[in-house]
Amino acid sequence: MDLLNTLVEKGLRRELPTREEALAVLATSDDELLDVVAAAGKVRRQWFGRRVKLNYLVNLKSGLCPEDCSYCSQRLGSKAEILKYTWLKPEEASQAAAAGVAGGAKRVCLVASGRGPTDRDVERVGKTIAAIKEQNEGVEVCACLGLLADGQAEKLRDAGADAYNHNLNTSEATYGAITKTHTYADRVDTVQKAHAAGLSACSGLIAGMGESDEDLVDVVYSLRELDSDSVPVNFLIPFEGTPLAKEWNLTPQRCLRILAMVRFVCPDVEVRIAGGREVHLRSMQPLALNIANSIFLGDYLTSEGQAGQADLDMIADAGFEVEGTGTTTLPAHRSEVAAGGGCGSHAGGASVCGSGGQGDSVEAGCGSACGGCSGHAEEAPAPVQAEAGEVRPDLVAVRRRGAGTDLAPNA
């Protein structure tokens, strides 16, 4: 296809595709799907080889959020039967993080529900970061605490945080239909605050909330303009008890096309498959590794993922390798700029993209990713595949282990 050849050439040059080209990727047929994946794979291998970065979520404070994000199981008024608990102690969070690091995670993502942190919360998280880094040499720590006030990003940086996650989630045009208690501009402001403080900015999206192709392209172009280092792609987990519980409109093929579009628009950033990959990609997860170079290990914030060992087996069986702590994730031209405090723009005036979450996406306090842990003696049978639009609550397993429980985490 001329389209795919053009997109590969642009991706290798870090050149921004046209909106028409991005939309055309989402409109490709199932017969063309493997060609789309192969083309995106060429761009992925150019910048990241066959490495897969593992990230591990620790939900510091679960549920009871005052925000009304329609996708989130932790939202105000949620009837989802998730774990609810207040702040973990630093030593508890460090212990939870250690399980992920032992499983191969290079980055620990500390997430807390709520609109945004108080200065006391920031101090508390700072102590948690110190505890984790003291016990786990070389680990990266990303904080995800919601909307930031002036000066808080700097305090997190000084406490040892490497990155900050806050997702845009959807397009500016449709954001008001998803959330009323804060604005799209509030989210952009927080990503910019993190970036300006010298933190690696992580910001992404949630697909499957009833958005159009144009909405998906809009938010990914906005993420590129924000120039974040990583872009988590969450696939909506329709929790019973939330307003979007019946939004079952993703197929594995649709998810692969979305990932490919993100890779073409953001060729040299960490594209992470985040919340919902087990639910919507299902048996196609290994194929998605040809596009994305990063995943979450084990469980999410409020839902369970597949067993941590299954994640590791999948990576090895697909011919990929886990990225070690001694390896720099980003290509040299990005990591050098990031080391100077922020990502900056790229050759030819093209800049790249970022990441953020869902009560089971990756982002808390106004966006967060949920999951679960390993350690079960028996593996659950593989779920039957759902058709587009079919309601399948049996595909969603609420997290009952790991942080906030007495059970071993899944890593």
Per the annotation, binding residues for [4Fe-4S] cluster are: 65, 69, 72
Which residue among 14, 65, 277, 401 is the active-site one? 65
Give the number of other Cβ atoms within 10 Å of residue 393's Cβ: 10
CA torsion, points 375, 381, 384, 386, in degrees to nearest 10? -10
109 catalytically annotated? yes
Which residue(s) pair with 303 in the sheet? 398
Q: Is 255 a catalytic residue?
A: no
* Token reading at 130: 């110190």
Q: Are 303 and 50 in contact (CB under 8 A)?
A: no
Integer Cα distance of 270 and 272 in angstroms: 6
What is the spatial distance between Cα 344 and Cα 226, in angstroms, rounded to a whole number?
9
DSSP 3-state of 236: coil
Q: How many CB atoms lie within 10 A of CB 30?
A: 11
Q: Which of 72, 144, 255, 353 is catalytic?
A: 72
Residue ranges of the binding site for [2Fe-2S] cluster? 109, 142, 202, 272
Burial 60-85 (b: 16+ CB within 10 A, else e): bbbbebebbbbbbbbbeebebebbee
Q: Are 396 and 239 in contact (CB under 8 A)?
A: yes
Of residues 142, 266, 343, 366, which has the active-site annotation? 142
CA atoms within 13 A on the CB side of 325: 15
Look up 65 and say whether it is catalytic.
yes
Q: Which residues 6+ apart lie within 8 Å of 398 measured at CB?
A: 73, 80, 81, 82, 83, 302, 303, 304
Q: Does residue 353 have an active-site annotation?
A: no
Strands 230-235 and 205-207, by their bridges, are parallel
Q: Which of 202, 343, 353, 373 is catalytic?
A: 202
Continuous segment of H or E residues that includes residue 56: strand 51-61
Choose the catalytic residue: 14, 107, 109, 370: 109
Amino acid at 167: N
Known active-site residue 142: yes
The binding site comprises: 65, 69, 72, 109, 142, 202, 272
Active-site residue (options: 69, 266, 353, 366): 69
307 three-class SS = coil
What are φ and ψ of residue 202, in 5° steps? -125, 120
Measured CA to CA, the distance from residue 392 to residue 288 in angstroms comes to 22
Question: Amino acid letter at 43?
Answer: V
| DSSP 3-state percent helix, strand, coil across the chain (nearest 5) | 40, 10, 50
Which residues participate in catalysis according to the annotation?
Answer: 65, 69, 72, 109, 142, 202, 272
